[in-house]
């Protein structure tokens, strides 16, 4: 039997610890999961049958509150998995400098084979268990969507908290990833996938770092495979295409497509929607086994599904030069060592897929402020832009075309605020990671990212002290 997912995370943690002077006692505290709530509760099916459902919520670190992390619905959810994912959330939040500790939750249920009514009852009961044990609240622990959950489930959780929670004034901030109609934030759906591509952009901007890989700077023309064309992978693919990259391969749970000339991702989605499968998509090679897609020729792989997509069994067959971990834990330690020895650059998950928690932070702030980002400023900014255009016209004596005036006069929307703030956050975070990588002669970006996170969390403990 191989190592557990939590063991894998701690393997990377321990490797980074060799390069720091943080005291051992503080490292031991950072490494540990602070609290785990395992629950079992009865739920009635639509036909009256009573089933016992198992769920978890892990809070890895309380160095900053609230803790933050998604809730996944899947039959293979385990305590080890939510512990590992909660640890990754702690390091992720520290790397991108958002003031959260890490958490994660999961429920052992298959949302694909259950009715909406049953899922609602499961979600509300799970939320009520979290409320009862103080594992949820705007200042305590703030869940978000993950695999198998989305805006609908977050709405049910918010509504349940509104009824039973302690902080009803700030109830909206008890969960993020809500629909816009429930005061979610623009740009949250695509945040993780978009953030991964922004991370890739930052890496591809440094010619010095690309020389060993024999790659040119920039996204244009890069051949990309996206294993896992789900919520994260789809938005990553779209963001890459917008930057003139070429998607040559994709996979879903029941197959994969490869076309060295490039895939029309929207056409792929339409074909699957109409036929129920990727099979038969014109001009592309279909693979029954979706795992084989990672072995096809490309410049960049953006794994966007679940953990352990790369192991010792397939790492040697990878032809990509760069792997961007849009999923959590897609490369296990054995594969990581093999890929590093082969010269493959890996943008680690605790940085590459942090876009989701960054934008969740913006939603949390929005909900605590009780006002949208643009409501107080947009019209003012528009008036200021119009005045500036008037002055420029008087000074220059030139009249701009109406379409140019309209473009220059428009004020930023909430989506504009969110996307520019996301890009800025990812850029600043990458520079910190890269500085650690280069200045301290670290073996790779993963070690640099973990070291950045460890020292950030350690600094919080050392400055705040330990109570009492």
Average pLDDT over residues 280-286: 94
**What are the phi and psi torsion angles at 89 (to 5°)?**
-65, -40
Average pLDDT for 71-89: 97
* pLDDT of 1 strictly over 60: no
Nearest to 44 by CA among 36, 52, 56: 52
Over residues 301-330, the mean pLDDT reads 95
Q: Is residue 2's pLDDT more than 70?
A: no
Contact 177, 363 (CB under 8 A): yes
Of 125-129, 198-202, 228-232, 371-375, least confident by mean pLDDT is 371-375
Q: Helices then strands (H, E): number in the chain?
A: 16, 12
In this structure, are residues 176 and 154 in contact, taking their beta carbons and an 8 Å threshold? yes
Are the C-beta atoms of 43 and 108 separated by less than 8 Å?
A: no
In angstroms, the CA 273 to CA 61 distance is 41
CA angle 425, 142, 117 (to 5 degrees): 125
Does 412 score more than 90 pLDDT? no
Using the Cα atoms of residue 277, residue 280, residue 283 and residue 286 in order, give the sign of their dihedral: positive
Instruction: Say which residue the tokens 């942090």 belong to.
Output: 354
* Structural domains present in the chain: 5-179+451-464 (3.40.50.10860), 191-352 (3.40.50.720)
Instruction: Report how far residue 57's alpha carbon sits from residue 122's, in angstroms, rounded to the nearest whole number.
Output: 14
- Report the SS3 class of residue 18: coil
CA dihedral 216, 220, 222, 225 (to 10 degrees): 150
The radius of gyration computed from the CA coordinates of the chain, to the nearest angstrom, equals 23
pLDDT digits (tens, 9 = 90+) for 215-274: 999 999 999 999 999 999 999 999 999 999 999 999 998 899 999 999 999 999 999 999
- Residue 116's CB: how many other CB atoms inside 10 A? 10
Whole-angstrom CA distances from 324 to 146, 195, 364 are 19, 11, 27
pLDDT band at 372 (very low <50, low <70, confident <90, very high): confident
- The upper half-sphere exposure of residue 126, i.e. CA atoms within 13 Å in the direction of its Cβ, equals 27
Alpha-helical runs (H) found in 133-190: 151-164
Please name the residues in contact with 10: beta carbons below 8 A apart, sequence gap of 6 or more. Answer: 31, 87
pLDDT one-digit tens code per residue, 123-182: 999 999 999 999 999 999 999 999 999 999 999 999 999 999 988 899 999 999 999 999
Note whether 325 and 301 are within 8 A (CB).
no
* Cα(351)–Cα(433) distance, integer angstroms: 9
- Token duo for residue 151: 């805006």
Per this entry, what is the length of the chain? 468
pLDDT value at position 386? 85
Spatial separation of the C-alpha atoms in residues 122 and 105, rounded to whole Å = 14
Is residue 389 within 8 Å of 408, Cβ to Cβ? Answer: yes
**Which DSSP helix (H) or strand (E) runs through 274?**
helix 265-275
Residue with tokens 């014109």: 282
Which pLDDT tens digit goes with each residue over 93-129? Answer: 999 999 999 999 999 999 999 999 999 999 999 999 9
Q: What is d(CA 178, CA 363) in angstroms, rounded to the nearest whole number?
A: 9
User: Per residue in 417-466, pLDDT tens?
Assistant: 999 999 999 999 999 999 999 999 999 999 999 999 999 999 999 888 77
Q: Is residue 231 flagged as an active site residue?
A: no
**Is residue 419 within a helix (H) or strand (E), and if so which, with residue range?**
helix 414-439
Catalytic residue among 68, 104, 178, 202: 104
How many angstroms separate the CA atoms of 56 and 35, rounded?
11
């Amino acid at each position: 039997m191989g190592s557990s997912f939590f063991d894998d995370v701690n393997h990377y943690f321990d490797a980074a610890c060799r390069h720091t002077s943080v005291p051992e006692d503080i490292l031991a505290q950072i490494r540990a999961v602070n609290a785990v709530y395992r629950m079992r509760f009865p739920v009635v099916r639509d036909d009256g049958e009573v089933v016992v459902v198992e769920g978890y919520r892990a809070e890895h670190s309380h160095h900053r509150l609230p803790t933050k992390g998604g809730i996944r619905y899947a039959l293979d959810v385990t305590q080890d998995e939510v512990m590992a994912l909660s640890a990754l959330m702690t390091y992720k939040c520290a790397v991108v400098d958002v003031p959260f500790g890490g958490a994660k939750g999961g429920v052992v249920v298959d949302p694909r084979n259950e009715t909406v009514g049953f899922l609602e009852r499961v979600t509300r009961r799970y939320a009520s268990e979290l409320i009862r044990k103080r594992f949820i609240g705007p200042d305590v622990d703030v869940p978000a969507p993950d695999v198998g959950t989305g805006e609908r489930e977050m709405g049910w959780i918010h509504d349940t908290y509104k009824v039973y929670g302690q902080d009803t004034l700030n109830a909206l901030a008890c969960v993020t990833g809500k629909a816009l109609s429930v005061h979610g934030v623009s740009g949250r759906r695509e945040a993780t996938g978009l953030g991964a591509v922004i991370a890739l952009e930052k890496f591809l901007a440094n010619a010095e770092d690309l020389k060993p890989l024999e790659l040119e700077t920039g996204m244009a023309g890069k051949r990309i495979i996206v294993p896992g064309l789900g919520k994260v992978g789809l938005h990553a693919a779209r963001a890459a295409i917008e930057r003139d990259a070429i998607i040559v391969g994709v996979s879903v749970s029941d197959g994969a497509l490869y076309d060295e000339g490039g895939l029309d991702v929207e056409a792929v989605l339409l074909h699957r929607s109409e036929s129920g499968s990727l099979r038969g998509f014109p001009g592309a090679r279909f693979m029954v086994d979706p795992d084989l897609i990672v072995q096809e020729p490309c410049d960049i792989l953006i794994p966007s599904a679940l953990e352990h997509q790369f192991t010792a069994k397939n790492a040697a067959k990878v032809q990509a030069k760069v792997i961007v971990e849009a999923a959590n834990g897609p490369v296990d330690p054995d594969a990581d060592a093999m890929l590093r020895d082969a010269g493959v650059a890996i943008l680690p998950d605790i940085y590459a897929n942090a876009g989701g928690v960054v934008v969740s932070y913006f939603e949390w702030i929005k909900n605590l402020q009780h006002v949208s980002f643009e409501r107080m400023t947009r019209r003012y900014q528009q008036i200021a832009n119009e005045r500036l255009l008037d002055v420029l016209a008087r000074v220059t004596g030139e009249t701009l075309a109406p379409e140019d005036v309209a473009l220059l006069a428009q004020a930023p929307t909430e989506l504009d605020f969110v996307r520019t703030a996301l890009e800025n956050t990812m850029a600043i975070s990458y520079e910190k990671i890269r500085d650690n990588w280069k200045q301290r002669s670290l073996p790779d970006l993963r070690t640099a990212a973990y070291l950045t996170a460890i020292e950030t969390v350690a600094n919080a403990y050392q400055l705040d002290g330990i109570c009492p």
